[in-house]
Amino acid sequence: MQNDRRTILIVGQGVLASAVLDFLAQSEERDRIVIAARDLERLGRRVNLARYTALNLGRDPVIESCAMDLMDGARSAALIASVAPDIIFNATTLHSWWVITQLPAMAFQRLDRARGGVWTPMHLVLIRRLMQAVRAADFKGAVVNASYPDVTHAALAAEGLSPLVGIGNVANAVPGLRLAAAHLLQADVAEIDVRFFAHHFLSYRMPSTGATDGAPYHLTVYHRGKEVALDEGDYREIFSSVAGRFRRVKGLAGQSVTASSATAVLRALAHPGDRVVHAPGPLGLVGGYPVRFGKGGIAVDLPTGLSLDAAIEINRRCQTYDGIEDVDARGTVHFTSEAADVLKDELGYDCRQLPLDACEERAEELARKFAAYRDRIAGESDRATQSPGAVE
């Protein structure tokens, strides 16, 4: 129905934003989709691609495009006010997660020892700018964020700028957990539901390693709505199956899992019912949770025997595995010494803590030093390729 149509503003035009655009354009709900980015000409071509694909599938989406530069706060606020969206989805960052995977293997492995948290300066800048524009526009709708919500939301909460909820991360592991639990219980996956509490580190590493590496988590499995009693061996088998029998394509080729998790959140907000979707950073919390979406808003969906304080503590302890020691009440992000040392040794970048008001300066420095590192590594790789082999 026309009155049920919502306006969703997508900010960004990268891999994730484009995939979410396609999912929404192909949806049965004919919501108004507005996508905004800096390069309007390029964006227009991408919008037309989404229209072509949707029309092939029998859909006629309502899509608009507009220019937006988040570093221009006044114009961003004016655009938000003009578009008047019900929901804003941020798919921007200064450093996508896959960038370091493009390095030569040895360099990637050295940097990856720092885990994901050390790149927080790059993830904070644009979502903070967006939330400042949201405040200036007096926007009252929901903001959904894809930029490291496990940590950025808790930091931005100190300024009253936390988005409502994030996407991906914990959600990306849930389909594999359901498939693995169904296999363990010899049940149809449609009969299986889970409640999974875990930080980005665990949802990123476990599907590859088949183990938790000691990181804390909570997993409850339900079969036909009834909780299943599992022991440690069962959990190990489930995690092993996620990385084994149910191992999926990862990297950029597997980005559709993240995009589908984002689409699930956006649909749950646009057309609220009573459903649970896993998501990171709900309501300014650190880490990932199952989130119940209803007409009255969102809430963490807790299984029997687990309190919200206990769930938060699990994520706080788990974040240290991602290189984050703490996010304090002022929004300052404190990195573990092990993680900070990796960037100091590899890039010459020394950052032990990150106050919110320093995020742009520190991000600029990190970008500059990473670019120099990447160029140096590329040069070393080229020289190694061109050098003659040893003569015996």
Q: What is the pLDDT of residues 14-70, one digit of tens each?
A: 999 999 999 999 999 999 999 999 999 999 999 999 999 999 999 999 999 999 999
Q: What is the pLDDT of residues 62-115, one digit of tens each?
A: 999 999 999 999 999 999 999 999 999 999 999 988 899 899 999 999 999 999
pLDDT of residue 98: 86
Count the alpha carbons within 13 Å of 359 in the hemisphere toward its beta carbon.
Answer: 24
Q: Are 261 and 337 in contact (CB under 8 A)?
A: no
**34: β partners:** 9, 64
pLDDT of residue 341: 98
Phi/psi at 278 (nearest 5 deg)? -75, 140
The structure's pTM equals 0.95
| CA 278/CA 295 separation, integer angstroms | 17
Q: Please say whether the dihedral angle defined by the alpha carbons of residues 352, 357, 358 and 360, taken in this order, is positive or negative.
A: positive
- Amino acid letter, 194: V
pLDDT of residue 4: 80
Rg of the chain (C-alpha set): 21
**383 pLDDT band (50/70/90 cuts)?**
low
Considering all CA atoms of the chain, what is the largest pairwise distance in Å, rounded to the nearest integer?
79
Q: Please say whether the dihedral angle defined by the alpha carbons of residues 64, 65, 68 and 70, taken in this order, is positive or negative.
A: positive
Locate 80 and state its tokens.
């938000």
| CA 6/CA 31 separation, integer angstroms | 5
Average pLDDT over residues 262-270: 97
Domains by residue range for the chain, with CATH: 2-166 (3.40.50.720), 324-373 (no CATH)
- The residues, any chain, with a CB within 8 Å of residue 133's CB and separated by 6 or more, are 70, 73, 76, 77, 80
| CA 316/CA 141 separation, integer angstroms | 28
- The residues, any chain, with a CB within 8 Å of residue 311's CB and separated by 6 or more, are 197, 218, 289, 300, 302
Average pLDDT over residues 364-389: 81
The residue behind tokens 């072509």 is 52
- Amino acid letter, 202: L
Residue 14 DSSP label: S
pLDDT of residue 271: 94
| Secondary structure E strands in 84-145 | 87-90, 142-145
Q: Please say whether the dihedral angle defined by the alpha carbons of residues 376, 380, 381 and 382, taken in this order, is positive or negative.
A: positive
**391 pLDDT band (50/70/90 cuts)?**
very low
Q: Are 89 and 11 in contact (CB under 8 A)?
A: yes
Average pLDDT over residues 251-265: 95
Q: Are 23 and 31 in contact (CB under 8 A)?
A: no
Average pLDDT over residues 165-185: 98
Residue 198 DSSP label: B
Average pLDDT over residues 315-333: 98
